[in-house]
Amino acid sequence: MLYPQSNACRQMADLSGFWEFRFDPDEVGTGQGWGGGFDPAEVIAVPASWNDQFAEWRDYTGVAWYQTTFDLPWGWRGQRIFVRFNAVSYLAEVWLNGERLGEHEGGHLPFGFDITERVKDAGNVLVVRVDGKLAPDRVPPGELKGRAGAAFPTVNYPDTTYDFFPFRGIERPVLIYTEPQAAIADVTVVTEIDGTSGVVRVQIACDVDAALTARATLHGHGFSGSAEEAVEGGAAALTVTVPDAALWSPDAPSLYDLRVELRRDGAVVDCYALPVGIRTIAVEGDRLLLNGEPVKLLGFGRHEDFPVVGKGLLPALIVKDYALMDWMGANSFRTSHYPYSEQMLDMADRLGFMVIDETPAVGLFFFPEGLEKRDRLCQQMIREMIDRDKNHPSVIMWSVANEPHTATLEAREAYNRDFTVIEHASRPEAVASFKAMADLAHELDPTRPVTLISHEGALEEAFAFVDVVGLNRYFGWYTQSGQIDLGLDYLDREIELIHTLYPKPLILSEFGTDTIPGHHAQPPEMFSEEYQAEFLTKQIKLTETKPFVIGQHIWNLCDFKTGQAVHRMGGYNYKGIFTRDRRPKLAAHRVRALWRGEDGS
C-alpha cells in the first residue's frame, strides 16, 4: 500500500489535529445513528492514544467515537479521492457523510477507502467508531482470565496476554489524497548485486491497461539511468543496472532516488517517487549475510510509547530514539511487537539501521475457540505488513510472532527440570498455524529471511519453518533470580541445545532486568542499576563466544507503560537502559563501551 504523496500528479492532505470525541461504554452509538454525526462530549488530539488524554479513562479499552469535518481542497475534482488511516487500534468502522465506508480489524497497519463518489466540496463529516475491546480471538489476544496457563505472567489489568499497555485510538495520521484516473497502484522494488554493479528490478502494478507505458528513472551517487516498458495485463517489469553501485549498509546507508511514471502518448499521467537502497540479505549456514558479508545485529527491542501520546506518532521522539541508539553503537532493532510507523522505517533507511519487522501476533494461545478466525487475522497482518514495508532497504527480516504459548504443559514441565525435550513438545494447532504463517511470508517475499521470536526455547517446533531462530530469555531474572552466574550457565546450555536441534543463525532477541532508576546496591542486587549493568555485560560477552549467535537485542531501549500487576511497580516495565523520558541508566554506559569496543577487554 503506497504511502500518499503530493507531486505533479497526486495531492495529499493531513487531517491530524483536534477531533470531536465521545466514549461509548454502553455501546449505544450505532443504534442511535452516531455514524451520521454525533454531539461530542470531548475534544481529542489525533494522532494519539486516548488513554492518557482524559482523567479517569486510562484503562478503558471499550468503544469510542471520533468525528471531524473537512472541505475538499481546491483542484481535486476530476481525480479519484481516498481516505487513509495509518493505524487505528483496534477495530475501526468508518462513515463519511452518514454513509458507511467499511471497517478494518487490527491496529498498527494502514487501511483506506475510495470516497470519490461520496465526498462533497465542503462540510464533509468523517466519523470513526473505534472498538478497543480485548478478546481471545483478537490479535493480540486478551481477556483470558481464568483459562489455565493463560495469564502472562500473572493476571494483568487490563487483562492482556502481553507485557505492554493496550493503548487505543487513532494513533497515526489520517490522510485524504488523490490518484489520477490511470494510476500506479503498487510498486515493488527488489535489488541484487552483480559483481560491482547493482541491479534494481521494479515491478509496477496499474489499475488500468490502456495504451500505457511505464518508465523508471534512478538517480544518485553520480549515476542516472532509466528503463521503459509497455504496460501489459496491468503490470510492467523494469530493470535498471547501476555500475559501481553504492550499496546500502549501516556503515554507508546509500540511497538512490527512484521515480516511476505512467505515460500515455508521451505525456505523464501518474508518477511516484521513493528511495531505493541497493543491498542483499541472506542466510548461509548459521550466518546472516548483508551484501554477501557476515553481519551481527546489535540493538534493542523497543516500544512506540511515551507519556500522554501513548502509541501516537511523535516525530521528535523518533529522532531522539535514533540518536540514543546511534550513541550506543547499535545498528538494529526489532519492531516489538507490531509494525512501527512508516516514518520510523523511513528514518531507518536514511540512517542505516537494520530492522526486524514484526506482526502484532504477540502472546498467542492455542485454545480451539476462535482459532480459525485468529489464524486468518494473523495471515492478513502478514500480508498487510509485507505489502506496506517491502520496499524499505532497512527491513532485513520478517518476524511472524513474538512469544506464542506453543508448548504443551507436559513438555514445559520436563524442559524446566533439566532441558529434556519430549517428542511433539508443541501443540499441533500451533505447529500448523506457524507453518502456514512462515510459508506465507516466504511466498510473499522470497528475498528476506523469516523468523519467529519464542520464549519456549528448544521446545519451539516452529523453529523448523523459519530461517533465523529468535530466543527471548531471562535466566538470572524471572528464574535463577538474583543469581547472574547461574542464569548464565543455563543460557549457555540452552543456546547450545537449540543450535544442535536447529543449526541456524540465532538472535538473543530479548534479555534484560527491571531496573529502578537511581536504585543502587553493592554487591549488585535485583532492581539495582548495578545488577542490570552486570547482567547485560555478562550475557553480551557470552553471546560473543557463540559464532552462530548473530544478534543481541536488549530488552528494552526505554522503560515503558504496562498494565497493572504485582510485578509491575507503577504499571511500568523498567527493563529500559534509558528511562521512559530517555535518561540513561548505568547499563547504557556499560553497554555502549562494549558495543563500541571501549571496555578494555
**Enzyme catalytic residues:** 403, 510
Q: Where are the alpha helices (DSSP H) in 342-448?
A: 342-351, 371-389, 409-418, 428-444
Cα dist from 305 to 64, 194, 588, whole Å: 21, 42, 19
Whole-angstrom distance between the N-terminal and C-terminal Cα of the chain? 48
Across the beta sheet with 287-290, what order do the strands follow? 281-284, 287-290, 293-294
Cell of 513: 532486568
3-state SS of 354-371 is EEEEECCCECCCCCCCCH
β-partners of residue 354 are 332
Instruction: Report the Cα 174 to chain-centroid distance in Å.
Output: 19
Quote the CA–CA distance of 211 and 209 in Å, as a whole number.
7
Quote the CA–CA distance of 143 and 161 in Å, as a whole number.
8
Cα dist from 241 to 200, 223, 290, whole Å: 6, 10, 19
Q: At what angle do helices 371-389 and 428-444 cross, to 10 degrees?
A: 20
Quote the CA–CA distance of 531 and 585 in Å, as a whole number.
11
3-class DSSP state of 338: coil
Long-range contacts, stretch 365-368, CB < 8 angstroms, 24+ apart: 365/136, 365/141, 365/144, 365/147, 365/149, 365/150, 365/161, 365/404, 365/405, 366/404, 366/405, 366/406, 366/427, 366/429, 366/430, 366/433, 367/136, 367/147, 367/150, 368/429
* Residue from 404, 403, 468, 465 nearest 435 by CA: 465
CB 403 within 8 A of CB 453: yes
Cell of 431: 505447529
Which DSSP letter does residue 4 get?
P
Cell of 219: 538517480
Pairing relationship of beta strands 287-290 and 293-294 according to DSSP bridges: antiparallel
Angle at 55 between CA 582 and CA 156, to 5 degrees: 70
Pairing relationship of beta strands 549-555 and 506-510 according to DSSP bridges: parallel
State the amino acid at position 261 in one-letter form.
Answer: E
